[in-house]
Amino acid sequence: MILKDHLMMKSNKNLENIARNLSLRGFSRVDKAGKVNLIYNNLQNSEIIENAISNTTNSSKVLLSKVVNANGTLDYTSLKNAFLENYKSKSTFYSAFNLIQEFGLLYEIDQEENILCEIPSEIFPNLQTIMKNKFPDINVEDVEPEESEEDVESEKIDTIAEILQKFALKTILKSLLEEAGIPKSGTKKEIIDRLLTKTEYYIGDLLDVLFQKPVLQDICIEMNIPKSGNKSKVIDRILIKTGEKEETDVAYFAQSSRRKATVLGKSARIKQKESETQEPVIVPEEKVLHLEEVSQDLSTEEIQEQEPKLLVEEIFEYLSTLDLDQAGISNELALEASVTTTLKNDRIFKNQGVTIERGSKSIRDNKQMPDIIIQKGSEKIYVEAKFIDQTHPTKTINSAKSQIVDFSSDYGKENIIFLFYDRDGKMGPQDIGRFKKMTGGRFVYWTQDDFQ
């Protein structure tokens, strides 16, 4: 993956940290795309890279050398195991790993089976030369222990404070305090206590800013909870385990209660769709219980066949096969209006009690709202529609990348569908594949050839 794509997938806060660590100027006065360009252009400079490496710890240099020796790409598990074979401190590994990323020298590619750590091809040649000529003798004996590691290496991890003590980078914790106007001096433990009690940071946002997915998965392993899923799901599990979030706040817990409510099966739903005037089918409570008891004897495959689709899956399938009148769609507002109206007029969605409304263009709770908000009971999902400008497609595509990252972070990748109308097919297969990966597959792509 190219460096710009890696940077576009970072949050604004992560980009600010990288720019600050590289001693770049002017990043606070530009938007996200401006930050990406600033960092990208400066990382082409070998002096910037050399200064960045010099300002990391010896343990970070050891990790960098291992990735360099693997020609710039090494899977996360192999990197961690190679480090821990010679130096047993996990805390030191996590601090070193986080620090390299905070200087923009190492990035991740999330694959199905594992996570690859990559030095992008644009900076690899310079970085390889610098490591060979300037830091040839860095080895494990030079590694310095992380502060207070002896206090956390063997302890069980139960709280957010313990997670931050063992896994977080002290310099970033200090920068968060400084940003909040809170004194940043003291030990790591004192800094963490101040961060959690004296600031108004949301814990989920802290975890998102401080840790990349592989570190969060390691936290899950140490807490004996599942590590699968996207980054937001992993964070949710950690918040639940530490008592920072109720189980009922998470979508998949609501999903289990929905299964009980719909155990009367498909027949009632089919009858309801056949006639808008028909009274709702009411099944006596004892019948529902009986059906639940029967379902215990069914195979997993049979039970899954009876489970209703999630709202996001229904809407995604609907949009993927939708046939609009594209004659009047000449800009993004027209696209949003056409999709919203079509969804609102759909009889099946009406019968299911699905509500559809346009999202506000204003900022709400420090978050921009997606274009369309769709709700059914406790389920709420979002659709963000993008009209690819045929005159300046690259500008629109880059802007869309930024929005995907921000909306996925704010609303959860699993809760939002990204719909692109590329009338003349300006996007190539590489762009389409990249967007599918960034959106976790919830990406609908239209051209004018898709409509009658």
CATH of the domain at 363: 3.40.1350
Domain final residue pick, 122, 142, 162: 142
Residue 256 domain flag: no
If asked whether residues 382 and 429 sit together in one domain, one would say yes
Residue 361 domain flag: yes
Residue 277 domain flag: yes
Element (H, E) at 245: none
Instruction: Please tell me the distance from the alpha carbon of residue 373 to that of residue 343, in angstroms, as a whole number.
Output: 11
What would the two tokens of residue 413 be? 């990748």
Residue 257 domain flag: no
Residue 375 domain flag: yes
Give the number of other CB atoms < 10 A from CB of residue 329: 22
Residue type, 400: A
Name the phi and psi angles at 110, rounded to 5.
Answer: -85, 110
If asked whether residues 319 and 441 sit together in one domain, one would say yes
Residue 258 domain flag: no
Instruction: Please tell me the distance from the alpha carbon of residue 183 to that of residue 195, in angstroms, as a whole number.
Output: 10
Interior/surface letters 135-148, b for 16+ CB within 10 angstroms, e for the rest: beebeeeebeebee
Tell me, what CATH number does 118's domain have? 1.10.10
pLDDT value at residue 117: 92
Nearest to 119 by CA among 172, 80, 66, 77: 66
Question: What total of structural domains would you count in the chain?
Answer: 4
Domain final residue pick, 142, 177, 205: 142
If asked whether residues 120 and 237 sit together in one domain, one would say no
If asked whether residues 322 and 400 sit together in one domain, one would say yes
User: pLDDT tens digits, residue range 13-35?
Assistant: 889 889 999 999 988 888 888 89
Instruction: Please tell me the distance from the alpha carbon of residue 437 to that of residue 442, in angstroms, as a whole number.
Output: 9
If asked whether residues 240 and 279 sit together in one domain, one would say no
If asked whether residues 7 and 138 sit together in one domain, one would say yes
This prediction has a pTM of 0.54
Residue 420 DSSP SS3: strand
What would the two tokens of residue 216 be? 């969060």
∠ CA 218-220-224, rounded to 5°: 120
Expressed as residue numbers, the domain containing 272 is: 264-306
pLDDT value at residue 150: 42
Give the number of other CB atoms < 10 A from CB of residue 9: 21
8 Å CB contact between 59 and 144: yes
pLDDT value at residue 76: 92
If asked whether residues 286 and 177 sit together in one domain, one would say no
Residue 253 domain flag: no
If asked whether residues 354 and 389 sit together in one domain, one would say yes
Instruction: Please tell me the distance from the alpha carbon of residue 290 to that of residue 302, in angstroms, as a whole number.
Output: 17
If asked whether residues 111 and 185 sit together in one domain, one would say no
Strand 372-376 and strand 379-387: pairing?
antiparallel
Q: How many CA atoms lie within 13 A of 206 on its CB side?
A: 26
Instruction: Please tell me the distance from the alpha carbon of residue 336 to that of residue 329, in angstroms, as a whole number.
Output: 9
Longest dimension (CA), the chain: 80
pLDDT value at residue 365: 56
Domain final residue pick, 113, 142, 171: 142
What is the CA 179 to chain-centroid distance, rounded? 23
If asked whether residues 316 and 445 sit together in one domain, one would say yes
What would the two tokens of residue 8 be? 């576009």
Name the phi and psi angles at 254, rounded to 5.
Answer: -65, -30
Residue 385 pairs in a beta bridge with 419
pLDDT value at residue 128: 94
If asked whether residues 193 and 271 sit together in one domain, one would say no
Interior/surface letters 168-189, b for 16+ CB within 10 angstroms, e for the rest: bbbebbbbbbeeeeeebeeebe
Q: For 150-198, what is the HEC assignment?
A: HHHCCCCCCCHHHHHHHHCCHHHHHHHHHHCCCCCCCCHHHHHHHHHHC
Q: Which residues in the chain come in under a pLDDT of 70?
A: 88, 112-113, 138-155, 247-308, 327, 360-367, 430, 450-452
Residue 399 domain flag: yes
Instruction: Please tell me the distance from the alpha carbon of residue 234 to that of residue 357, in angstroms, as a whole number.
Output: 30
If asked whether residues 299 and 337 sit together in one domain, one would say no
Nearest to 122 by CA among 38, 45, 52: 45
What would the two tokens of residue 415 be? 């809760």
